[in-house]
């Protein structure tokens, strides 16, 4: 185990581990149909060479360098190389528009960017020209010819140039402090212009230390090399910390998934031991398992449903299981749960859920079929993890106790505050907002909750995300949206109704459900299903099924259907907030308002 308290900074942690593990496999990608690895020592050599190459091209300590790429080893190498120069990584979302890129470039003051290839160049190069970027380094060749004001070079060329420079990287790394800002991650929040969160080396190292304290209680921990499967965007703080730096601290292997579409197949091939994901993935997997059982019917469906029922009963009250229940549960462990576990590679120790609230029913479903899920909580401003559940006591109605070296307290108005090394250095170029958000060392999260008798944190809602209807009743939109999205027909939703007599909703149907409907009904691909009365009835039936789980003021009376797909990156991370922003931008608010006039 690493002594995280003595680690100086993130590159120091990486080079320490690279020296320890040497030629052992580290980063894996699939090429030509097979998984191929690069060792710790190979990656360390590339990080060192690129770091020297960046300095040869004018990158200085404190400079901001953009990374715009899909997850891959070159993302990792670029990130550690930037930090090893003393510069600051600025991850950019692959879904950014030209205008989004211009804002990040202009606000951060970045003069150099590392991008993957043609697809990213389409929106980025015009923004680079507009923002006056000096140098764009590409991981792959691009055909686009930018204006003469922007120089374009290839990553391999810059790396080769670095190899000709003196090898003084470790000397530079030794001078970096834990309090130094290492990355600038732009968060969109619920509205307004994205703000750059200044995360320090120490904030992420604090998360790494806390993660090891949680995961060391997993079965077989320390007896084998841990394996992570990376598929959430590394541009998000959650994957950046938990999917990249936590594995470094563990001495783990990281596999980069081919794509979201191939994720299930990749899981079976890679056989990960730990997976970091978001609630949307678990909702999708749950829907697929239940649909598959329904299509199979007969004994297979009955056994799965019985395993779920007994598993939930065992989780909520183990003493309630009768003698017959225990025998049947043991049989189903072999006939059902073992088969499900094998579909996930057979050695998965836990899923870790974060990025958005995990619906309790979804979490219990996974536990019932033999797959552990540990729900956590945090935000980019806190490295990002503040609290996470434990193997010893996994209370899915909470987000667990605070991480190691993290203090949490509840303000008089119910707001959750946290303090510790994990707290950001502030917002880039925004001292006023920084001073409002971090007061006397306490991060004001904007979330409302309380600590239960076990010291576990319970999140009730966003401080400013409460719907107050015209009758003065408070409604939690996250709770209602979470229950609606459990229905297999509904992919995403947003409820609406502030100062209104009742709730209405915008519904994005489940993609698989829409595809199946088109196939069975003969509807053309370009035919709007929102205008199909039978399709609307199916969505309405799904909404009606939720009525028993919602109070009168929480029930949705009317709805609109939105068929446009949302980007995987945004939808996977925080569906309810992302869809809410999208609806505002696209003026769906007018359509929702119109529902009250019908």
Alpha-carbon separation of residue 75 from 81, 169, 304, 326 (angstroms): 10, 19, 41, 49
HSE of 49 in the Cβ direction (CA atoms, 13 Å)? Answer: 16
CA dist., res. 14 & res. 251, Å (int): 9
Output the CA angle 114-133-44, nearest 5 degrees: 25
Domain 276-346+349-462 in CATH 2.170.120.12: no
Write the class of the CATH domain 467-595: alpha beta
Which residues is 447 bridged to in the sheet?
Answer: 462
Which residues is 378 bridged to in the sheet?
Answer: 385
Taking only the tens of pLDDT, the chain with its 598 residues reads: 799 999 999 999 999 999 999 999 999 999 999 999 999 999 999 999 999 999 999 999 999 999 999 999 999 999 999 999 999 999 999 988 898 899 999 999 999 999 999 999 999 999 999 999 999 999 999 876 666 678 999 999 999 999 999 999 999 999 999 999 999 999 854 445 789 999 999 999 999 999 999 999 998 888 899 999 999 999 999 999 999 999 999 999 999 999 888 998 999 999 999 999 988 789 889 988 998 898 889 999 999 999 999 999 999 998 999 999 999 999 999 999 999 999 999 999 999 999 878 889 999 999 999 999 999 999 999 999 999 999 999 999 999 999 999 999 999 999 999 999 999 999 999 999 999 999 999 999 988 999 999 999 999 876 667 787 777 777 888 889 889 989 999 988 889 888 788 999 999 999 889 989 988 888 777 788 888 999 999 999 999 999 988 888 899 999 999 887 554 444 444 445 555 555 554 667 788 888 988 7
Q: Which pLDDT value is given to residue 149?
A: 75
90 contacts 64 by C-beta, under 8 angstroms? yes
CA dist., res. 215 & res. 517, Å (int): 42
Q: The domain 10-176+220-273 belongs to what CATH superfamily?
A: ANL, N-terminal domain (3.40.50.12780)
Q: In what order do the strands lie in the sheet with 503-509?
A: 490-496, 503-509, 556-561
Alpha-carbon separation of residue 431 from 194, 196, 197, 417, 447 (angstroms): 15, 11, 12, 19, 21
CA dist., res. 218 & res. 222, Å (int): 9
Q: What is the DSSP letter of 504?
A: E
Contacts of 589 (CB under 8 A, 6+ apart): 496, 583
Which residues is 499 bridged to in the sheet?
Answer: none
Which residues is 228 bridged to in the sheet?
Answer: 254, 274
503 contacts 547 by C-beta, under 8 angstroms? no
Same fold, 10-176+220-273 and 467-595: no
Q: Which pLDDT value is given to residue 179?
A: 98
Radius of gyration in angstroms for the set of CA atoms belonging to the chain, rounded to a whole number: 24
Alpha-carbon separation of residue 410 from 385, 447, 455, 522, 592 (angstroms): 17, 10, 12, 55, 35
Q: Which pLDDT value is given to residue 583?
A: 57
CA dist., res. 27 & res. 35, Å (int): 10
Q: Which pLDDT value is given to residue 443?
A: 98
In the chain, domain spans? 10-176+220-273, 276-346+349-462, 467-595
Q: Which pLDDT value is given to residue 188?
A: 59
Neighbours of 354 (CB within 10 A): 28
Sign of torsion over alpha carbons 261, 262, 268, 271: negative
416 contacts 448 by C-beta, under 8 angstroms? yes
Q: Which pLDDT value is given to residue 476?
A: 80
Neighbours of 161 (CB within 10 A): 17
- In 3D, which of 194, 12, 327 has the Cα closest to residue 335? 327
Contacts of 19 (CB under 8 A, 6+ apart): 44
């Amino acid at each position: 185990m690493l002594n995280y308290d003595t680690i100086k900074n993130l590159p120091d942690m990486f080079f320490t581990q690279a020296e320890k593990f040497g030629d052992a496999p580290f980063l894996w990608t699939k090429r030509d149909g097979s998984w191929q690895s690069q060792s710790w020592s190979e990656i360390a050599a590339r990080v060192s060479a690129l770091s020297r190459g960046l300095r040869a091209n004018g990158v200085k300590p404190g400079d901001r360098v953009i990374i715009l790429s899909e997850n891959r080893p070159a993302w990792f190498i670029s990130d550690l190389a930037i930090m090893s120069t003393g510069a600051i990584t600025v991850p950019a979302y692959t879904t950014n528009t030209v205008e989004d890129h211009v804002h990040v470039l202009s606000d951060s003051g970045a003069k150099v960017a590392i991008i993957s290839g043609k697809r990213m160049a389409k929106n980025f190069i015009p923004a680079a020209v507009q923002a006056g970027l000096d140098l764009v380094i590409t991981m792959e060749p691009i055909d686009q010819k930018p204006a003469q004001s922007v120089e374009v070079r290839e990553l391999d060329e810059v790396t080769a140039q670095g190899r000709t420079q003196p090898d003084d990287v470790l000397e530079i790394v030794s001078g970096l402090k834990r309090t130094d800002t290492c990355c600038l991650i732009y968060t969109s929040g619920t509205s307004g212009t994205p703000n750059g969160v200044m995360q320090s080396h120490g904030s992420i190292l604090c998360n790494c230390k806390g993660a090891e304290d949680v995961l060391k209680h997993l079965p077989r921990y320390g007896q084998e090399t841990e394996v992570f499967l990376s598929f959430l965007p590394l541009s998000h703080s959650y994957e950046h910390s938990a999917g990249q730096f936590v594995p470094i601290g563990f001495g783990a292997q990281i596999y980069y998934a081919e794509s979201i579409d191939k994720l299930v197949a990749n899981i079976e091939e890679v056989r990960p031991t730990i997976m970091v994901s978001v609630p949307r993935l678990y909702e999708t997997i749950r829907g697929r398992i239940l649909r598959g059982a329904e299509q199979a019917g007969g004994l297979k469906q009955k056994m799965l449903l019985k395993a779920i029922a007994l598993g939930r009963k065992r989780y909520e009250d183990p003493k309630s299981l009768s003698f017959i229940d225990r025998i049947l549960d043991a049989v189903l462990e072999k006939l059902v749960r073992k088969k499900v576990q094998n579909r996930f590679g057979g050695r998965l120790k836990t899923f870790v859920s974060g990025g958005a609230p995990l619906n309790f029913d979804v979490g219990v479903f996974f536990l019932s079929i033999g797959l552990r899920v540990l729900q956590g909580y945090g935000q980019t401003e806190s490295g990002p993890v503040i609290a996470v559940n434990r193997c010893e006591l996994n209370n899915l109605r909470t987000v667990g106790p605070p991480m190691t070296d993290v203090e949490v307290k509840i303000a008089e108005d119910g707001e959750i505050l946290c303090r510790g090394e994990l707290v950001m250095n502030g917002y880039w170029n925004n001292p006023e907002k920084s001073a409002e958000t971090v007061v006397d060392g306490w991060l004001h999260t904007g979330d409302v909750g309380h600590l239960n008798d076990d010291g576990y944190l319970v999140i009730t809602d966003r401080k400013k995300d409460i719907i107050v209807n015209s009758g003065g009743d408070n409604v939690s939109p996250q709770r209602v949206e979470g229950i609606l999205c459990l229905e297999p027909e509904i992919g995403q939703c947003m409820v609406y109704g502030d100062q209104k007599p009742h709730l209405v909703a915008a519904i994005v149907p489940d993609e698989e459900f829409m595809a199946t409907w088109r196939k069975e009904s003969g509807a053309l691909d370009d035919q709007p299903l929102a205008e199909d009365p039978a399709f609307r009835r199916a969505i309405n039936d799904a909404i009606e099924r939720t009525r028993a789980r919602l109070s009168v003021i929480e029930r949705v009376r009317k709805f609109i259907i939105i068929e446009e797909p949302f980007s995987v990156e945004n939808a996977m991370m925080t569906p309810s907030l992302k869809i809410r922003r999208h609806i505002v931008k696209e003026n769906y608010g007018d359509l929702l308002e119109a529902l009250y006039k019908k």
